[in-house]
Amino acid sequence: MRTVRDLDVRLALHETVLARHRDDPETIVIDEFGLNWGVVRVDVAVVNGTIHGYEIKSDSDTLDRLPVQAEMYGRVLDRVTLVAGRHLAAAERQVPDWWGLCEAIEVAPGQVRLRSVRRARSNRNLDLKAVAMLLWRDEALAILEEMGCAAGLRGKPRRALYGALVERLSSTQLRSRVRRALKRRGPAWRAGPPRT
């Protein structure tokens, strides 16, 4: 019996769905994108005008972590697409209805075809402090410096900086600044297609 492997799904994702972003200077594609200071990792994230996460469930995976992942991703990501083979139907019952669904079908050994089942929609329940936590401490401080609001905060822990950003910026402004900071880190920062 054939099984859909993580690496094969990841490669198919990069070669098809994510290929259109390859030459876009306004987009960065990040494998193993950490949330909540690395407590959870999104398999692949696309950062441009939004942050779109792709969660891969290979046939050898379990769905044990999916409820926690769904909760954590829902705090930070603008859109999420679940990519799975045999787990797709069971996983669909465990994720919010704004998540997209994509079926991974092995068509030959090591070769996967992706079929869109449901398009991802916008997440309306972001936690702005969790979004701010995507920033490194120096990035958060630099934004506060640019705004002229860093006085009294330079020696504070990063949580205080994130709180200050949430207080001083609208949702749209904060999310835009976070995306800009992530993109400034450049393609060498945890980005690019998986190595075989």
Which domains are assigned to the chain? 6-124 (3.40.1350), 128-183 (no CATH)
Task: Give 194's pLDDT tier (boundaries 50, 70, 90).
Answer: very low
pLDDT tens across 122-168, in order?
Answer: 999 999 999 999 999 999 999 999 999 999 999 999 999 999 999 99
pTM, full prediction: 0.91
Region 69-85 average pLDDT: 97
Distance of CA 143 to the CA centre of its chain: 22
pLDDT of residue 186: 65
SS3 readout for 99-157: CEEEEEEEEECCEEEEEEEECCCCCCCCCHHHHHCCCCHHHHHHHHHHCCCCCCCCCCC
Q: How many helices (H) and strands (E) does the chain have?
A: 7, 6
Region 3-23 average pLDDT: 90
Contact 191, 31 (CB under 8 A): yes
Indicate if the pLDDT at residue 119 is higher than 80: yes
